[in-house]
Amino acid sequence: MSTVRATVEVFGQKLGVRTDGDAARLEELARFVDRKMREVAGHSSAIDTVKVAILTALNIADELYKERSMDQDARQRDLEQQAERLVNKLEEVLRDGEARDAT
């Protein structure tokens, strides 16, 4: 993967950034962070850019943790359903074997 340089603007600050990925993706991420920072600034009395950035980072981290938790819960439910299907299949095979042995 090649290194790409791009200049992005977040919350009025221009940043020169290098990424091992796609410049368009980096710009999309910068727009996302900019939008989130503007939301936080609109709902907060914090004027200091650093404080807005920290509050925004905490909000994004909260969203990430919730998403990971939901993904983990979904994986757990899938595993439980798969285990239940396997147990049912094993019970069915055992019943069929017992029925054959009885005849």
Q: Give me the average pLDDT of each 10-residue run along the chain (103 residues).
A: 86 91 89 94 84 93 88 85 90 82 73
* Residue ranges covered by each domain of the chain: 4-102
- Give the residues across from 8 on adjacent strands: 15
Residue (of 71, 69, 39, 65) closest to 52 by Cα position: 39
- Cβ pair 58, 44 in contact under 8 A: no
Residue 44 pLDDT: 80
Residue 98 is predicted with a pLDDT of 78
Query: What does the block give as tokens for 18?
Result: 């290098």
Tell me the pTM.
0.65
**How many CB atoms within 10 Å of residue 7?**
12
pLDDT given at position 46: 66
Read off the tokens for 15.
């940043």
d(CA 99, CA 32): 63
pLDDT of residue 55: 92
